Structure 1
Amino acid sequence: MSSRISCLQQGPLHILENHAVRRGPVPDFLRQPALEGVQAVHAGMPGHAPTPLVSLPGLSRALGLGGICIKDESSRFGLGAFKGLGSCYAVFRAVCQRLGLDPARTTPADLRRPCHARQLEGTVFVTATDGNHGRGVAWAAAMLGCAAEVYMPAGSAEVRARAIREAGRASVTITDLSYDDTVRLAARMARERGGLLVQDTSWPGYEQIPAWIVQGYTTLAVEAVRQMAAQTGRPPSHVFLQAGVGAMAGGVLGCLLDHYAHRPPQFVIVEPASVACIHDSLLWDDGLPHAVAQPGPTIMAGLNCGEPCPITWPLLRDFARFFMACPDYVAAEGMRALARPLGTDRAIIAGESGAAPLGALLHLMCCPELEAARHRMGLDEQALVLLVNTEGNTDPALYAQIVEQGAFPSPCSGLPPASGRGNDAPAVQAGEQEQA
């Protein structure tokens, strides 16, 4: 392994360190001047409200940390996940482009006027998804009176497909393909049928809409910056971000890095060990994104992606410090810890992908074999850690197996017990903000 990348931990939970982290400006499309219109579009969407930033002082004390704050996206737009942020902004920008409208002078309400509805008649939005992104596209399309055509990879839960259908006028097909091949199928179907592809990853010749999606995700980062300033009075020292293709991770990283340029946090990227395309691309040590050679199954459906997003890969490669490839039990323990909080901490309902960062943090702080890694990462009593819960209970059957029945137990014996109020603990509701 090169001097740029080193391995901090081997085994089921694998950790890489990037010794060549850049310090400097992020791409212009993720700097504040380019993002002002993003927040205005979201503010004009039905059901818009900032999601809560939840402080977990009980768990922080138990782990020996200075603080843990979780940006809880499970209530965003009533869709159960953050993905609607990217979908609705990209749909808005794509429609403005198609109709020749100035996005700076147009609002989401303007696009619902009868004159524009007639122009959009027959438009079909097409996408591939593991669940949350497709639901966001179907919902955004329905706001304009349009239909959506959604393709899902093999093994997708029917409950996720049903949620997409219920979000709008969407036809949903569960294929027998991998996620990445399903993306290629959706792109082909959009070309052949004249649909408008709204995909959350990019490839040569298809960069603009994915860039709008990435920009859309930054609203959660902008909200978190304001909430952390109000609640803690200081910036985070560490930010853990889960990654599938890396679109959300790259967008949030870029936005936070631009805001905290004077005092940048350490960014930690968390992926499923069986399909860790960002982590595995670093191992090639050629600076390029690579597909996972032998992808395997994971309960983290929203992160089950084998190929990095090219427009955000450089951000993660150059600005993230640590990369964790985690077994499924890591996410499962994160779900249980959030559902059954310690002390007076508030409960958070988190799905498998949403809980992965907290699960990674728990194992870093509690597993004896990871002691050297957590010291190297500077996770101590001064650390203020920011996490993002990207989804709520989007698969009730699997959620019950994990939280109520203890499926996917961790071999780490040092984890704190999930005590407190158990499943009766009230989850934080949309619009609430915990005070640190």
Structure 2
Amino acid sequence: MHAEKLDFEYILKSYEKKDTSLADKLFNVNIARTARNFHRQIPTFRQTPLYPLSQLADMLGVENIFIKDESQRLELNSFKVMGGSFAIYRFLQKKLGLSDKEMSYKYLLSKDCHDKLGTITFASATDGNHGKGIAWASRMLGHKCNIYVHRETSEARINAIKAFGANVTVVNGNYDDAVRQVAIDAEKNGWEIISDTSWPGYTEIPTWIMQGYTTMLLEAQEQLSGMGYFKPTHVFVQAGVGALAASVIGFYASLFKEDMPKFVVVEPNKAACIYESAKINDGNPHTVTGDLDTIMAGLACGEPSPIAWSVLKELVDAYVSVPDYIAARGMRILATPLKDDPMVISGESGAVTLGALYSMLTEKEMCKDLIEHLGIDKHSQILFINTEGNTDPKHFRQIIWDGCDPVPKEYWTQR
């Protein structure tokens, strides 16, 4: 027996013509190549895999499903290091007054560079993965790091940040409170903030962070081409403050212009600030308040990044807000694949987009207008990014082993 209404919400957007001007400026392919050229200089850097989930695609009635697995990125178990490391690179480059041709990762490690710069303290607020990436990049380059987390951050995520030499401060509030507190303390102590959210007067570094993410998108597009696919027809991407979503969508919009894929942004319904901004529909970003109590720790953000929203509002075809069990279902699907599909270890924030697609395509009658609006059919090639692996082992086991956050019985798989 099925419920009368699927318990996630969505907003559909239509455009006479999408405005790619900001995407072209911020996320064009040359910027992506610059970011990748930097990342390739990092010791131990390797391209992460792009997996086809062909059997799952066949089950759901689409041509193919592809997942870019960022759980294998360096030693960080997350994509976040791509943005943080590139932003630190750009920050130091600007401070040194060097061009891309003069600048190198090797030079940043040199005595000459450290003599000129001294020891810098980088700081940021985080839900876990961004702070870990900043801590890692700071330590690799011989600088200090202070990371602020909110009170609901798990001990495992805090310890992972500390493992890379950062000092961690727990703020008695949510993620947005941590963002405000680190800004106050950084100004007082002369620290340099490397934040993935923007605010008035602070846009350059968040832009560099978003541009750093384009390395993995350039990889993904080349990997797709190697499999014989010109481009994805649909891109599903998760959102916290919106930085990743803007980067992914901006890159593909700039690359393909009028022939761009359809874009879907997915958020937890307890922290759906991008969804809320689309719902109010006045062109401005809007904040959601409260504890932001979702299992998707990496997406538990109440205030959108204004610069990210400026990109998203011009390009997104559907905004989707989902309950926590959708993410848990996605984790279980990836961890227990159909025969011949690869197993992918994904955390809560990494799996929510696949969980959303599965729910859409197994409850078609309740999502008919969404599916038709996006044009998802047997010819669709859908791209996802697994943004994180098992970053909270205790909770991961509770979901995969113990059935935490179960799917309501009325939505159980019928095939």
The TM-score with structure 1 as length reference comes to 0.90
2:393: which partner in 1? 396
Alpha-carbon deviation of 1:98? 1.7
Post-superposition offset of 1:379: 1.8
Give a deviation string over 1:237-285, Cα, whole Å, max 9, x none: 1100000000011011111111122421100000000110000011212
Shift of 1:230: 1.0
Offset, 1:345: 0.3
1:212 to 2:208 alignment: yes
1:291–1:307 CA contact under 8 A, matched in 2: yes
Mapped partners of 2:247, 2:292: distance in 1: 26
Q: Identify the residue that residue 86 of structure 1 maps to in structure 2.
A: 83
Q: 2:152 pairs with 144, 151, 155, which one? A: 155
CA separation in 2, counterparts of 1:54 and 1:365?
Answer: 20
Q: 1:300 aligns with which of 296, 310, 324?
A: 296
Mark the CA change 1:22 to 1:272 in structure 2 (over 3 Å): closer, same or farther: farther
In 1, Cα distance between equivalents of 2:291 and 2:246: 22
Which of 128, 132, 137 in structure 1 is aligned with 2:125? 128
Query: Quick one: which amino acid aligns to residue 269 of structure 2?
Result: A
In the alignment, which residue of structure 2 is the partner of 1:347?
Answer: 343
Give the alignment partner of residue 40 of structure 1, picking from 37, 42, 50: 37
Deviation of the 1:415 alpha carbon: 5.0
The answer for unaligned runs of 5 or more in structure 2 is none
Aligned residues: 409
How far has the Cα of 1:306 moved from its partner? 0.4
CA displacement, residues 158-209 of structure 1 (integer Å, 9 cap, x when unaligned): 1101111112x21011211111111011111111100111000111111111
CA deviation vs aligned residue, 1:22-76 (integer Å, no higher than 9, x gap):
4343421211233332111111112211111000011001111111000110011
Amino acid at match of 1:348: V
In structure 2, the CA distance between the partners of 1:255 and 1:277, relative to structure 1 (3 Å rule), is: same
| Matched residue type, 2:312 | L
**How far off is 1:123 after superposition?**
1.1
In the alignment, which residue of structure 1 is the partner of 2:219?
Answer: 223
* CA RMSD of superposed structures (Å): 1.7
8 Å Cα contact 1:164-1:170 kept in structure 2: yes
Amino acid aligned to 2:20 = P
In structure 1, the residue matched to 2:356 is 360
C-alpha contact (below 8 Å) 1:127/1:186 kept by paired residues? yes
What is the CA–CA distance in structure 2 between the aligned matches of 1:293 and 1:232, rounded to whole Å? 45
How far apart, CA to CA, are the structure 1 residues paired with 2:42 and 2:275? 36
Match of 2:284 in 1: 288
The 8 Å contact of residues 238 and 265 in structure 2, kept in 1 or not, is answered as yes
The Cα of 1:122 is off from its aligned counterpart by: 3.0
Per-residue Cα deviation, 1:359-380 (whole angstroms, up to 9, x for no partner): 0011001124224432332222
Residue 426 of structure 1 corresponds to none
- 2:13 aligns with 18
Once the two structures are overlaid, the 10-residue window that deviates more, 136-145 or 96-105, is: 96-105
* TM-aligned CA distance change 1:42 to 1:35, over 3 Å: same
Give the deviation of 1:143 after TM superposition: 1.3
Deviation at 1:227, TM superposition (A): 0.7
Q: Which deviates further from its counterpart, 371-380 or 408-417?
A: 408-417
8 Å CA contact retained: 1:26, 1:257: no
The one of 307, 310, 319 aligned to 1:311 = 307
Contact 1:21 1:319 in 2 (8 A): no
Structure 2 residue identity aligned to 1:192: K
Instruction: Write out the 4+ residue segments of structure 1 that deviate beyond 6 Å after TM superposition.
Output: none
The yes-or-no answer on 1:202 pairing with 2:187 is no
Which of 135, 145, 161 pairs up with 1:138? 135
Query: What code does the residue aligned with 2:138 have?
Result: A
- Runs of at least 5 residues in structure 1 that lack an aligned partner in the other structure: 1-8, 419-436
Q: Which residue of structure 2 aligns with residue 249 of structure 1?
A: 245
SS in 2 for 1:44: coil
State TM-score, norm by structure 2.
0.95
- More moved, 127-136 vs 251-260: 251-260
Distance (Å, rounded) in 2 between the aligned partners of 1:380 and 1:412? 27
Which AA in structure 2 matches 1:249? A
Change (3 A) 1:294 1:18: farther
Query: Which residue identity lines up with residue 16 of structure 1 in the other structure?
Result: I
% identical equivalent positions: 39
- What secondary structure is seen at the aligned counterpart in 2 of 1:118? helix
**Distance in 2 (alpha carbons) for counterparts of 1:293 and 1:147:** 32
Q: Mark the CA change 1:166 to 1:294 in structure 2 (over 3 Å): closer, same or farther.
A: closer
Q: 1:283-333 CA deviation, whole Å, 9 max, x = no partner?
A: 212100010144531000000000111111021111010000000000000
The answer (yes or no) to whether the contact 1:74–1:82 under 8 Å persists in 2 is: yes
**Residues in 1 aligned to 2:413 and 2:64: alpha-carbon distance in whole angstroms:** 16
Tell me the equivalent position of 1:386.
Answer: 383
Q: How does 1:83-122 map to 2 (within 5 A)?
A: 83-122=80-119
Q: Is the 8 A contact 2:292 2:301 kept in 1?
A: no
